[in-house]
Chains A and B, each alone.
Chain A
Amino acid sequence: MARSLGFIIVLLAVTSICDAVAIFHPISESHRSAALELFSPAAGSFSGLEEAYEALRTFEVLGIEKPDTKDHTCNSVVDTLSSSSSNLKDLYHSLRVNGLLKCKTSKEALTGTVSRLKGGVKEATTLLDYYYSVGGLLLVKDQSSEVDVLLGNADGILRSIKALSQSDGRWRYSSNNPASSTYAAGVALETLSGVISLAASAIDENLIGTLKNDIVKLFDSIEKYDDGAYYFDDKVIDASGHQGPLSATSAVVRGLTTFASTSGTLNIPEEKILGLARFFLGVGVPGNSKDLYYQIDALSCLENNRVSVPLILSLPATVLSLTSNDKLKVRVNTVLGSIAPPLSVKLMQVFSSGSKDAPVLKEELKFDPKEAIHTMDALPEGVDIGEYVFAFEIVLSDPEDKRKYATGGRTKVPIHVTGVVGVDNAKLTLLEGDSVESEKKLNLPGKNDVALSANHLQKLHLSFLLTTPLGKPFKPHQALFKLRHETGVEHIFVVGNSGKQFKIALDFLGLVEKFFYLSGQYDIELIVGDAAMENSFLQPLGYVELDLPKVPEKATRPPSQAVDPYLRYGPKAEINHIFRVPEKRPPQEVSFAFLGLVFVPFLVFLIGLLRLGVNLKNFPTSTVPATFAILFHGGIAAVLLLYVFFWLKLDLFTTLKALGVIGIFLMFVGHSTLSHIASVSVKVKSA
């Protein structure tokens, strides 16, 4: 009971160290090249104004030259703005593109657009209606100072948007659609901040206060990954088809930052803002254009927002070599890679793999302003080869900056330290009983050529020492001793250790059966390797001539050696298919002869009928019975004709259907004919 409890505590401690150990990098050249690839307009122009805006915005944030589609895009912008059939969404997107491209728009077009947008605000019922119209008015305000865009009833609009909110901080899209989403919350926040900045008169402070509380409630539903990334997830797929954490989190970040810029700071813990930045950076380089837009747009919102600006600590290299005296280098940037405010980076703790405690160091790294890199000249004492977790802390020089920037307390980064492992005192000993027969000193990891001969009564010992650059014992991932017979049969043994000393003892007496009683020359190989070891080696050491007793009757055969692997995938023997031999058919002449012969009995039958004096005297003469009689014979002929067609091409189902039809007809006709004949014959009999 106590043991299991202790185990659980250890597990919790280990996981508490294990969480938030990851490294994030700010935006880099790979994002730029991906943007150029993903957003290249097909056929020289963008497929729509929304896509055009996403591409242009991404290029602007990343500092890439806009592609040469300005004319074509501007044309569609001007067309959309002046056309009366554009809806609010089209106007909004074209104004967005116009804001980036600065196309030449006429004052009339803008005035017309503004009046339509204002009308849209008045008549708006759904969240997206408000979003497009308010967003459009805000964009016109930035683009032209001549048009009046201020909203009179700002309080009323805010209240009607707030009416769509829910108690958990999410928003609904319209009052008759109960589905809510976090993406809608982000959109709503952006709209609300737009209304606040367009208000003609001052807004009620209480209303803004409740909106800020709503945001804090929304942040209660934030989710977290183990590496310290925070995100919002939308489990509902809404009408616009947006789904997934990337778009939802991006919308919330956008809404949050625009709201904060218009209404002052919000009470969001800086850990969450940094977590949101980590989430977007942790995506890496997205594979499609929409995801890239969401990522870049959100990061540019986070770059300089009024809540807190996240600072990212990254390392250009996490593998340090002791041999080449690598220095520990740390960068601190904003999410888009810009320079951070004056700060210093301190190395607080160094955890070796698996340990949960480490002494507090508080070593400050030296800052090089030219390269904007913090360097540590020498690694802390006692850092040997292996895996470590370095815990850094960012200390801002200006105390005022503490409120503006999110540094994230202690940032833990996994570091690999590699070095050269010393292999000493290696020797191969042959023992007879307890006395040493021969001892050969080995030169590891260099070349060796040992020639030994042994019989099954002797023992082979191998021993060597492994030491790290700091002189401590080292246990590599692989320490294997291999004996390969001349026929190719291999035997591998693991070399065990106690501290620095690695030893293996092979007693041939016990191994005779394992070796399949194969005598002969065995090549010796030693393999020592580890990820942190720069001089891992696979060394042939020489050979040992082994003399084992004869194979008894019942012994297991050695496994057959694998065929040359190249042969396994080489061409195989050709397969000759044996096709079904068609049945022997008789020659055509024989078949035709018998066809003729089959008709002969029929001819005989006809001739016989004639000779018997067959006549049609009893065929009814008066019209109605005559027609029925004719139809009766016709019906039978039809059925027989149907059978011929059935044999030739029809299938059973159509035949049965047709037969049913003809059969019913035949029944009526036959019944009437035969009953007529029967009545006639009765009359004749009675007469």
Chain B
Amino acid sequence: MGKSPTTKDDAQALFQSLRSAYSATPTNLKIIDLYVVFAVFTALVQVVYMAIVGSFPFNSFLSGVLSCVGTAVLAVCLRIQVNKENKEFKDLPPERAFADFVLCNLVLHLVIMNFLG
């Protein structure tokens, strides 16, 4: 039983520690992370589709991908601002950050809809 730790064991141990650390994060941040993952996956699906069928019409592809990426970016910004451990944004109430997130998303989606064609 006293085998030397293999890389596989190391990877597993690392993975476990990451999981336990992650589960300590507050729920609202987890929600935001899930949203980011959703947005990125949607973008990936669109890229794969474009890779298969070609880039016509290119503007629609761009607008679809950029909407996903843009909303992911805004969500990341929201996460940064809402995170209580982040000293830089201590004085910013999270509701204000959320309001900014909503406003920026609405503007982003207006532009996306215009470009969608």
Residues of A within 8 A of B (CB): 583-586, 590-591, 594, 597-598, 600-602, 604-605, 608-609, 612-614, 636, 639-640, 643, 646-647, 652, 655, 659, 663, 670-671, 674-675, 677-678, 681
The A interface is mostly helix, strand or loop, or mixed, namely helix
Q: Which residues of A contact B110 (CB under 8 A)?
A: 643, 646, 655, 659
Say yes or no: A590 contacts B106, CB within 8 Å. Answer: no
Question: In the assembled complex, how far is the CB of residue B35 from the closest CB belonging to chain A, in whole angstroms?
Answer: 7
26 pairs from A and B in contact (CB 8 Å cutoff): A583-B54, A584-B54, A594-B45, A597-B45, A597-B49, A598-B42, A598-B45, A598-B46, A601-B41, A602-B38, A604-B41, A608-B38, A609-B34, A612-B27, A612-B31, A636-B102, A643-B113, A646-B110, A647-B116, A652-B114, A655-B110, A663-B106, A670-B99, A674-B95, A675-B95, A678-B93
Nearest residue (CB) in A for B93 is A678
B: number of interface residues (CB 8 Å): 30
Q: CA of A242 to CA of B44 in the docked complex: distance in angstroms?
A: 81
Closest residue of chain B to A608 (Cβ to Cβ) is B34
Q: Which residues of B32-52 have CB atoms within 8 Å of chain A's CB atoms?
A: 34-35, 37-39, 41-42, 45-46, 48-49, 52
State whether the Cβ of B22 lies closer than 8 Å to any Cβ in chain A.
no
Instruction: Mark each residue of chain B from 47 to 66: 1 if its CB lies under 8 Å from any CB of chain A, else 0.
Output: 01100111010000000000
B residues near A, CB below 8 A?
27, 30-31, 34-35, 37-39, 41-42, 45-46, 48-49, 52-54, 56, 93, 95-96, 98-99, 102, 106, 109-110, 113-114, 116
Q: Given B34, B53, B98, which contacts A586 in the complex, CB threshold below 8 Å?
A: B53
Q: Across the interface, which residues of A come within 8 angstroms of B38, CB to CB? A: 601-602, 604-605, 608
| Least CB distance, B36 to chain A, in whole angstroms | 10
Q: Which B residues are CB-close (under 8 A) to A678?
A: 93, 95-96
Q: Which residues of B contact A600 (CB under 8 A)?
A: 41, 45
A639-B106 in contact given A646-B114, A647-B113 (Cβ < 8 Å): yes
Residues of B within 8 A of A640 (CB): 109
- Residues from chain B with Cβ under 8 Å of A614 in the complex: 27, 31
CA distance A590 to B45 in the complex (A): 13
Q: Ordered nearest first, which 10 A-B pairs have the shortest CB separation? A: A586-B53, A605-B38, A601-B41, A674-B95, A583-B56, A594-B49, A608-B34, A678-B95, A643-B113, A601-B38
**Nearest chain B residue, comparing its CB with the CB of A644:** B113
Most buried by B among A601, A612, A613: A601
Task: Give the docked Cα–Cα distance between A334 and B110 (Å).
Answer: 88
Query: What residues on B are CB-neighbors of A605 within 8 Å?
Result: 34-35, 37-38
Q: How far is the CB of B59 from chain A (nearest CB, A)?
A: 13
Q: Nearest-CB distance from A192 to chain B (Å)?
A: 79
11 A-B pairs besides A597-B49, A601-B38, A605-B34 with CB distance below 8 A are: A584-B56, A586-B54, A600-B41, A604-B38, A608-B38, A646-B110, A646-B113, A646-B114, A659-B110, A670-B99, A678-B93
- Hey, which chain B residues are within 8 Å of A604, CB to CB? 38, 41
User: CA of A643 to CA of B106 in the docked complex: distance in angstroms?
Assistant: 9
Specify which chain B residues have a CB less than 8 angstroms from the CB of A636 in the assembled complex.
Answer: 102, 106
Q: Which of A584, A586, A677 contacts B52 (CB 8 A)?
A: A586
Complex: A600 Cα to B102 Cα, angstroms: 24
Give the docked Cα–Cα distance between A681 and B95 (Å): 10
What's the least CB distance linking B58 to chain A, in Å? 11
Minimal Cβ-Cβ distance residue in A for B40: A601
Q: Is the CB of A677 within 8 A of B113?
A: no
Q: Which residues of B contact A639 (CB under 8 A)?
A: 106
Q: Which residues of A contact B49 (CB under 8 A)?
A: 594, 597
| Bound complex: CA A675 to CA B52 (Å) | 48
User: How far, in Å, is B81 (CB) from chain A's closest CB?
Assistant: 14
Q: How far is the CB of A632 from chain B (nearest CB, A)?
A: 9
